[in-house]
Amino acid sequence: NAGVTQTPKFRILKIGQSMTLQCTQDMNHNYMYWYRQDPGMGLKLIYYSVGAGITDKGEVPNGYNVSRSTTEDFPLRLELAAPSQTSVYFCASSYRNSPLHFGNGTRLTVT
């Protein structure tokens, strides 16, 4: 049982490039989330999903897109990377209202 797995662990992007942050969970959780954490700050919710085929915006969705075609996977897409998107990205999952399980993050730098 690996829990929540995020790839890659680190990435450097040039301004305007695009990439997909991968997140997969093997706990059969129906809820999945993407958060970002800027240095010295708390986490902010980007997008969440309550089940396959259903996604919704969180607090800071601009510049990102998500999809949820399976229960296990919840990728986060950055289309035109900007320096303001330099952050650590955490994916999480939960079963209904149970506590969240987090991955170990993807550290993204946009230069």
Partner 1 sequence: DAKTTQPTSMDCAEGRAANLPCNHSTISGNEYVYWYRQIHSQGPQYIIHGLKNNETNEMASLIITEDRKSSTLILPHATLRDTAVYYCIVRVANNAGNMLTFGGGTRLMVKP
Chain residues binding partner 1 by CB under 8 A are: 4, 31, 33, 35, 41-45, 48, 50, 58-59, 88, 90, 92, 94, 96-105
If the CB atoms of residues 26 and 79 are measured against partner 1, the closer one turns out to be 26
Q: Which are the contacts of 42, defined by CB distance < 8 A and separation ≥ 6? A: none
Residue among 16 and 53 whose Cβ is closer to partner 1: 53
Least CB distance to partner 1 at residue 21 (A):
14
Question: Which 3 state secondary structure label does DSSP give 6?
Answer: strand
* Least Å from the CB of residue 5 to partner 1: 11
Amino acid letter, 22: Q
Q: Cα(79)–Cα(40) distance, rounded to whole angstroms? A: 26
Question: Please, what is the minimum distance in Å from the beta carbon of residue 94 to partner 1?
Answer: 6
Q: What whole-number distance in Å separates Cα of residue 17 and Cα of residue 100?
A: 31
> What CA–CA distance (Å, rounded) separates 13 from 31?
29
10, two tokens: 């680190």
Cβ nearer to partner 1, comparing 14 with 96: 96
Shortest separation between residue 55's beta carbon and partner 1, angstroms: 11
